[in-house]
Structure 1
Amino acid sequence: MAWFLSVLFAFITNKKVVFGSADMALHTLLKESISFFTLRGASLLADTAILFVGLTLLKGSPIIVKIIDQIVVIALNYVFSKHIFA
């Protein structure tokens, strides 16, 4: 539930504030929201994979692995958002 609500908030924020997308047609909202949630799901999978590999397989330092993870996930989310609202 927390993930869904945070992604919903990110979608609204990205649409309105960050990218200034004014198209509020139902078709556009559905297309953008489905794409946004799908790509955020992909970044969640990347997040999980990076943490698994870094912590479980490589036995890395939790703080270092998390920092690397967050840099990658933030970059992915930015690129994904630019793709949706471009």
Structure 2
Amino acid sequence: MYLIFGTLKEIIMYLIFGTLTTAVNIVVYYLFSNIIHINYLFSNAVAWFLSVLFAYVTNRKYVFDSKNNQIIKEAISFFGSRLATGIMDMVLMWFLVNFNIVNDVVAKVVVNVIVVILNYILSKLVVFKK
């Protein structure tokens, strides 16, 4: 019973903090891209970095309740796993915007849904595995 409840709680917490991480990502992207008028790919990279930093802190503490004392190693693993989805994020953003499939903000939202799902899988199986 605990396994089911624990997993359900973990998924709910991940969705909450995944939503907040996505919000950080989109707000930072929008600020840099549309308010400051910086290139959309550079804006995307800044948004990615800041949202991954936010995600690491919240995932470690609230989602996966990590007790790992090797925080630097864990953080490197977390950022490394996010690098793969970050590269995918950049490629999909480039593709969707460059070929005028959707505007940059819609592309950012769609890509973030895909990234959140993949990030949970990587966090669960690689970074915070128990």
* TM-score under structure 2 length normalisation: 0.53
Letter in 2 for 1:72: I
Q: CA deviation at 1:3?
A: 4.7
Runs of 4+, deviation exceeding 3 Å: 1-6
Unaligned runs of 5+ in 2: 1-45
The residue aligned with 2:74 is: 32
**Please, which of 111, 120, 123 is the counterpart of residue 78 of structure 1?**
120
Cα deviations across residues 20-63 of structure 1 (Å, max 9, x unaligned)? 11222xxx323211111112222221111001111213x21225
Superposition RMSD in Å: 2.1
Cα distance in 1 between the residues matched to 2:122 and 2:96: 23
Are residues 66 and 23 of structure 1, via their aligned partners in 2, closer, same or farther at CA, if it must alter by over 3 Å?
A: closer
The residue aligned with 1:8 is: 53
Structure with more relative contact order (C-alpha pairs < 8 Å, separation 6 or more): 1
Number of aligned residue pairs:
82
> Is 2:91 the counterpart of 1:18?
no
Secondary structure of the corresponding residue to residue 67 of structure 2: coil
Cα distance in 2 between the residues matched to 1:68 and 1:5: 19
Cα distance in 2 between the residues matched to 1:4 and 1:35: 14
